[in-house]
Amino acid sequence: MKAMRFGSILLAVATTAALSACGGSDDSGATAGATTAASGAAKALKVGYSSKGSDQFQLILQQEVQSQIPKQGLSGLQPTASNNDPGKQIADIHTLVSQGANAILVAPGDSKAIKPAIDFLDSKRIPTVSLDTSPDGAKVAMVVAADNVKMGQDGCAQMGAWLKGKGTVLSMQGDYNTSSGRDRGVGFKSCMDKKFPGIHVIERPTHWQSDQAADVANTVLKTNKQIDGVYMASDTVMLSAVLSALKSAGRDAMVGQPGHVFLISIDGSPFGLQQVRAGKLDALLSQPLDLYAKYGVGYLKEANAGKTFKVGPTDHGSRIVTTSGNLTDLLPAPLVTKDNASDPSLWGNSK
C-alpha cells in the first residue's frame, strides 16, 4: 500500500477485538486449526513494527497494530516509518532487533528490496509477519493482506457496468515495486481486456505518492475530455488530487448528474467515505485495515508457539493461498456505496 513523507510516529491506540484464525480460535487469539511444529514454552514476545510510511492509511494501521499488541498479551516497541526508503526500512528493522524486538510486523515499502531485512530476521529465528504487501523471495510466517487482484477486478466490474462496456478510463496505479501495486493494476487491466474490450484504459503510475498523483490527474484529466471514468489504486493518496483536477477542468458533476465522471477507488479512508456520502465518489473498496493488525499480531503469537499454517479457507471469511512463495491470508474487502458508507464497522468510520 502507500507511502508519503516520513515523520516520527508516536500515536495513542484505540480499537478492539481478539484474534480468530484458521479453524476456530480461543480468547488468546490462537489458531485452533494450526499445527504445532515444536513443543515447549514459547518465549515472551516483544513486538517491533516497521511501517513504510506516514500517510493516513499507514498511521491508522499503526494505531491498530499498537492496540492489538497489548490486547493479545504482548509488549511492543516504538514503531518506525521509512518513507518508502528501502535502505532506511532495512536499517529500522535492524534497530528494532537491537532494541530487543524478538518478533516483527512489517509493512514493506518495496517487495524486493525488503529481502535482506527478512533474511536477517530469518537468520535470527525471529518470527515475522508482513502486512498489506508480500515480500518477494524471502520467507515470513504469514502475509496478511486483502485480495488485491480481486479488488482490481471488482473495480473493473463496477466501472464496466457503469460505462456499459464503452468509453475511456484512467487507471491510476500505485507502485509496481510492491505486490499490492502490481496486483491492483493487473487485476483491473486484465479484467478490462477480457470483459470490456470496448473500454480504452490509460494507465499511469503514481508510486503511492500524492504529488505524483496530482501530476497524473492534472495532466490527464485536464487535457483529455474523453475520460469517462477513473480507477484509483488508493483513495488515501489519489482521491483529493482527482477531485481537484476534475473541478479545475469543469468536469466535477455529482454522481447521477449529466457529465459525471465515474470514480472508484481502493482503501476506504475517512476522506473517501466522506466523498461517497457527499455524492462525489461513486464507490470504493474498503481494505480491512483493522483485521490486518488483528490477525497479523495473532499469527506472530502462533508462529512463536511453533505452529504452522496451510493453504485453504479460514473461519473468518478469508482463504490462505501462496503468493510470492509465502502463505497469504487474503481478507475480503467490501464494496462501499452511498447505501453503506456510514457503516460503523468500516475502518474509515472508526474514531
Average pLDDT of span 36-44: 55
User: What local confidence, expressed as pLDDT, does residue 323 receive?
Assistant: 87
Residue 62 backbone phi and psi in degrees, to 5: -65, -40
Residue 75 has pLDDT above 90, yes or no: yes
User: What local confidence, expressed as pLDDT, does residue 40 receive?
Assistant: 42
Single-letter amino acid code for the residue at 290: D
Closest CA to 148 of 183, 122, 193: 183
Per-residue pLDDT of 228-249, as tens digits, reads 999 999 999 999 999 999 999 9
User: What local confidence, expressed as pLDDT, does residue 351 receive?
Assistant: 62
Average pLDDT of span 82-102: 96
Query: Which pLDDT band, with edges at 50, 70 and 90, does 13 fall under?
Result: very low
Closest CA to 299 of 98, 123, 105, 159: 105
Which fold does the domain 35-146+288-332 belong to in CATH?
Rossmann fold (3.40.50)
Distance CA 139, CA 137 (A): 7
Residues 282, 229 contacting (CB under 8 angstroms): no
User: What local confidence, expressed as pLDDT, does residue 89 receive?
Assistant: 97
Per-residue pLDDT of 196-218, as tens digits, reads 999 999 999 999 999 999 999 99
Residue 181 has pLDDT above 80, yes or no: yes
Percentage of the chain with pLDDT > 70? 88
Average pLDDT of span 287-314: 95
Burial call 2-35: b when 16+ CB within 10 Å, e when fewer: bbbebeebeeebebebbbbbbeebeeebbbebbe
Residue 108 has pLDDT above 60, yes or no: yes
The CATH superfamily label for domain 148-286 reads: Response regulator (3.40.50.2300)
Residue 129 has pLDDT above 50, yes or no: yes
20 versus 153: which is more confidently predicted?
A: 153
User: What local confidence, expressed as pLDDT, does residue 125 receive?
Assistant: 96
User: What local confidence, expressed as pLDDT, does residue 313 receive?
Assistant: 95
Could you tell me which residues come within 8 angstroms of residue 253 by beta carbon, excluding any fewer than 6 positions away?
259, 260, 261
Single-letter amino acid code for the residue at 119: D
Residue ranges per domain, the chain?
35-146+288-332, 148-286
Per-residue pLDDT of 17-27, as tens digits, reads 333 333 333 33
Domains 35-146+288-332 and 148-286 share a fold: yes
H-type alpha helices, the chain: 56-71, 86-98, 115-123, 148-163, 179-195, 210-223, 235-248, 270-278, 289-304
Distance CA 159, CA 195 (A): 11
Grid coordinates given for 9: 510516529
41 versus 215: which is more confidently predicted?
A: 215
Under DSSP, the state recorded for 25 is B
Q: What share of the chain is helix, strand, coil (3-state, %, to 5)?
A: 35, 20, 45
Closest CA to 157 of 208, 229, 217: 229
User: What local confidence, expressed as pLDDT, does residue 225 receive?
Assistant: 87
User: What local confidence, expressed as pLDDT, does residue 32 receive?
Assistant: 35
